[in-house]
Structure 1
Amino acid sequence: MKISIIIGVVHMIFGISLSLVNHMFFRKAISVLCEFIPQMIFLIFLFGWLCVMVLIKWISYGNGDEFDKVHDSSCAPSVLITFINMVLVKPETPEEGSPCKVLFFDGQFTFQVVLLLTAVICVPIMLIPKPFFTRYEFNKKKKAHSNQHTADTGETSAVISNEEEEEEEFEFSEVFIEQAIHTIEFVLGSVSHTASYLRLWALSLAHGQLSEVLWNMVMAIALKQDSTVVGTIMIYLIFAAWAALTVSILVLMEGLSAFLHTLRLHW
């Protein structure tokens, strides 16, 4: 169930890594510093940490014995609840008399606060510096062209200079709004994409519950018959209904739903 989250986050990290190739090809150092690096930090420090907690839970908790209740799977902290409390900066309190830990390791709350603050700081870095640097570069380039045309006293060059200045007007508000749209799109996209991969997790949980319901409501009725003859006949008759429901609901409906979500996310 949780591996869909890991695959999804790796997929999103790969997508951001592709933007680095474009920035390096067009030699946009400001885009690397103010877009690629903050985006990667934001994604890894939040949703990458979510994947790390899943791996820690897999490694640290299993089928414990009667002498090691702390590392039993029933004692494992909830990854989603821990992540939600991390975003809300809400400390978890252990239950009285329970041997279970509310977090995976000591100092995790402080560590998560540092990750969250760093991720939040990355948002204004993605938003603010690039428009100002773009305006600085434009004014620098415009000043250089102006000095070049001033040195040239020809009438034709003066006309060309005026035409170029009219065409190359820099609208700071448009650039800033465009950068704000890109920043909001990335932040909301990261959250919504991760939520979509979480939906695959939820689909698998629903799939398991539907399987149990179908078994208990259909096949278990025939298996609980006292008479072997009656039970055999009921199994023979009920199996058709059970198979039809299993194929139609679990295989077709659930499979198609998960397939569509996955296809949309990959696209």
Structure 2
Amino acid sequence: MKLSVLFGVIQMIFGVCIKFSNDTYYRDVLDWITVCIPQMVFMICFFGYMDWMIMYKWVTPVAQDPALNGAPSLINTLISFGLGQTDKQPLYQGQFTIQKWFMIAILLSLPLMLLPKPIIIGIARSYKAKKAARRAAAAHQDVEAQSLLPKDDKATEEPAEPGMDEMIMQGSLESTGVMSPIWIYCAWAVLFAITLGVLMFMDVLECTLHTLRLHWVEFMSKFYMGDGYPFVPYRHFDIIKNELEG
């Protein structure tokens, strides 16, 4: 169990390191300061310190040290660490002082991790919304000015391209490659069935599900946001139109 905790914390710290690498590559100073640094401080000062105590207890002959009065319990040590109390059975000399500084670093990292980024993003969005409103007002004034100009009766609209639906259907039926729309729809059905089976029936495999959750959520959330983007319906007409216009 303790070995699993060691590997789990190492994986989480590795995920934060990947987050550091991504923010450095994309030059995201906001995430680098308000997400990466406080996350790393929290991980090392709490979970990293817990792993260090586990390994220290493994390699230290605690029973031979009369000052420690026997082997201390790591659970009691963590409880005393969280409550800021002096441990009756310290694991090493000067433990209370070190834990006090670790707790101060943890308490400082929490507001830095939770507050600055939403506030800065909210201010930026408000500024962009006001800027877009000013542009829309200016464009509306331009439209009103153009509506006062004399109209050209000879102006005609460009006729729509005929036979587009027939061309799309014929191309879909004639295509036999891997990227054929028919194969894509069939593959989607298979993927949906697998996803449904994983979500609905794999819950009985508690350990497997817990492992996947740790990897997908706890590990990947350190460097992958997955916020998504606005939904745009898939239309063959739009794709062909963009190809023709490009």
With structure 1 as the length reference, what TM-score do the two structures score?
0.48
Amino acid of the residue matched to residue 108 of structure 2? I
Runs of 5+ unmatched residues, structure 1: 63-67, 94-101, 160-255
User: Structure 2 vs 1, CA of residues 158 and 104 (structure 1 numbering), >3 Å: closer, same or farther?
Assistant: farther
Shift of 1:10: 0.4
Say if 2:108 is the partner of 1:118. Answer: no
**Cα deviation, residue 105, structure 1:** 2.0
Identical aligned residues as a percent: 33
- Shift, 1:117, TM fit: 1.8
The residue type equivalent to 1:31 in the other structure is D
Give the structure 2 partner of residue 8 of structure 1.
8
1:265 paired with 2:214, answer yes
- Matched residues in 2 for 1:108 and 1:259: separation? 37
- 1:75 counterpart SS class: coil
Q: Aligned pair in 2 of structure 1 residues 138, 265: CA closer, same or farther (>3 Å)?
A: closer
Cα distance in 1 for residues equivalent to 2:72 and 2:86: 13
SS of residue matched to 2:59: helix
Correspondence list, 1:249-260, <5 A: none
Q: Partner of 2:86 in structure 1?
A: 91
Larger deviation: 9-18 or 47-56? 9-18
Distance of aligned partners of 1:264 and 1:146 in 2 relative to their CA distance in 1, 3 Å threshold: closer
RMSD: 3.7
* Change beyond 3 A, Cα 1:150–1:260: closer
CA distance in 1, matches of 2:19, 2:144: 39
Look up the match of 1:76.
Answer: 71
SS at 1:47 equivalent: helix
Native 8 Å contact 1:149 1:157 kept in 2: no
The superposition leaves residues 38-82 of structure 1 with CA deviations (integer Å, 9 ceiling, x where unpaired) of: 0111111001100011111122127xxxxx8327x9922222221
- In the TM superposition, residue 34 of structure 1 has moved relative to its aligned partner by 0.3
The Cα of 1:16 is off from its aligned counterpart by: 2.3
In structure 2, relative to structure 1, the CA distance for the partners of 1:266 and 1:147 (3 Å cut) is: closer
In 1, distance between residues paired with 2:115 and 2:144?
37
Kindly tell me: are residues 92 and 10 of structure 1, through their superposed partners in 2, closer, same or farther at Cα, counting changes over 3 Å? same
The 3-state SS of whatever aligns with 2:64 is: coil
The alpha carbon displacement at 1:143 in A equals 7.2
Equivalent position amino acid for 1:76 in 2? A
Unaligned segments of structure 2, at least 5 residues: 147-204, 217-246
Cross-structure match for 2:32: 32
CA distance in 2, matches of 1:34, 1:260: 31
**Structure 1 pair 69–19 and aligned structure 2 pair: CA distance change class (3 A):** closer
DSSP-derived class of the 2:27 partner? coil
Deviation (angstroms), 1:13: 1.1
1:107 and 2:102 matched: no
Count of paired positions: 158
Q: Distance in 1 between matches of 2:40 and 2:115?
A: 17
Alpha-carbon distance between aligned partners in 2 of 1:74 and 1:261, rounded to the nearest angstrom: 38
Please, which moves more after superposition, 134-143 or 19-28? 134-143
Distance 2:22 2:145 in 1: 37
Paired with 2:84 and 2:128, the residues of 1 have a C-alpha distance of 46
Question: How high is the TM-score relative to the length of structure 2?
Answer: 0.52
TM alignment of 1:1-267, pairs within 5 A: 1-61=1-61, 69-70=64-65, 75-93=70-88, 102-138=89-125, 155-156=142-143, 261-267=210-216
